[in-house]
Homo-oligomer: A and B are copies of this chain.
Amino acid sequence: MEIDLEKLLLDFMKGSINALAKIITLVENRAKEANEVMKTLYPKTGHAYVVGITGLPGSGKSTLTEKVVKELRKQGLTVGILAIDPTSPFTRGAMLGDRLRMQEVSNDPGVFIRSMATRGALGGLSRATADVIKIVDAFGKDIILIETVGVGQDEVEIVKTADTVILLSVPGLGDEIQVMKAGVMEIGDIFVVNKADREGADRLVMELQMMVDLSCRGGSWRPPILETIATTGEGARELTEKVLAHKGHLQESGILTKKRSQRIREEVIDLIELEIAGYIHEIIKNNPSFDEAIEKIVAMEKEPYSFVREITAPLAAYFKIKR
């Protein structure tokens, strides 16, 4: 199908949700138009503030996200929500679940919701998420909330790109979860104990307090620990205030600018790697001598490490790389 890219971008600029959704799909699928789209939209980015919310399945991420969004809307801020679904790399497309659960905000034109599947796409989930954040940013949303499951390297990478990271935990989820929580401690800017009416909430708050105290972070921001009950909305206002306070802190201290420069640097390196990975796939595709080499490796007549050195040798020479 031929796409009228000019019209699509024009509709996007006019604020068409339909065009926004189409453009995201284009870029997610790495369609040939993706590069052109991103080039056009890039100058319009940099306005949105990105908030990551992470926690284990069942911790109430979606529900709490919804309540925070309602608070942000009261302040006149527009919001984009990206839900990173832990669905399969095989079952294409994302779930309806989040949208169904977020019924309270999903009909608000000031809120855009998008689910992203964790599929094994070229360039990976973090690449796709970074692009979608830029698109929603260019669309003009003030705040972008990324909701993700708090385990898995990719998920941690994604949440790390947020300006403010909210770490959600709940009382009584058992041992292993405490460990996991410890694992992502360092990336939390705000800690939330959700389902705070459950037994064990006070103890969890105390534990988090201790961990924050012990984590010898540098910097002037001391991560607050809040209690919420997402289902009733209790604590959502305080959480929203803390997010905006953290935003203010990062802006005034100049940290935001520094963090964003660093992120852009990393993204450019990612893009270069992705571009070159594309060349490799191009070269390997339908290449009988590559296929032969693989057969020899499978038959143990050749080992892969020397083979890789061999076929990358001209490239190393080209770049004058010593190895």
Q: Is A97 positioned at the interface, with any CB of B under 8 Å from its CB?
A: yes
A58→B279 CA distance, assembly (Å)? 43
Given A42-B304, A260-B298, A298-B264: A183 and B88 interface contact (C-beta under 8 Å): yes
Given A88-B187, A149-B152, A297-B264: A273 and B271 interface contact (C-beta under 8 Å): no
Query: Are B186 and A264 in contact, CB atoms less than 8 angstroms apart?
Result: no
Q: In the complex, how many angstroms separate the beta carbon of A115 from the nearest chain B beta carbon?
A: 11
Most buried by B among A35, A308, A314, A319: A308
Residue of B nearest to A58 (CB): B174
Given A88-B156, A152-B149: A316 and B279 interface contact (C-beta under 8 Å): yes
Residue of B nearest to A150 (CB): B86
The segment from A18-26, A117-125, A246-254 found at the interface with B is: A117-125
B residues near A298, Cβ cutoff 8 Å:
260-261, 264
> Would you list which residues of chain A between 81 and 124 have a CB under 8 Å from chain B?
85-91, 95, 97, 118-120, 124
Number of copies: 2
Q: Is A219 positioned at the interface, with any CB of B under 8 Å from its CB?
A: no
B residues near A4, Cβ cutoff 8 Å:
none
Given A58-B173, A152-B151, A318-B315: A269 and B284 interface contact (C-beta under 8 Å): yes
Q: In the complex, how many angstroms separate the beta carbon of A265 from the nearest chain B beta carbon?
A: 5
Q: In the complex, how many angstroms separate the beta carbon of A250 from the nearest chain B beta carbon?
A: 16
Chain A interface (Cβ within 8 Å of chain B)? 35, 38-39, 42-43, 46, 56-58, 85-91, 95, 97, 118-120, 124-125, 149, 151-157, 173-177, 179-180, 182-187, 260-261, 264-265, 267-269, 271-273, 275-284, 293-295, 297-298, 300, 303-309, 311-312, 314-316, 318-319, 321
Closest 3 A/B residue pairs (Cβ): A152-B152, A87-B183, A57-B176
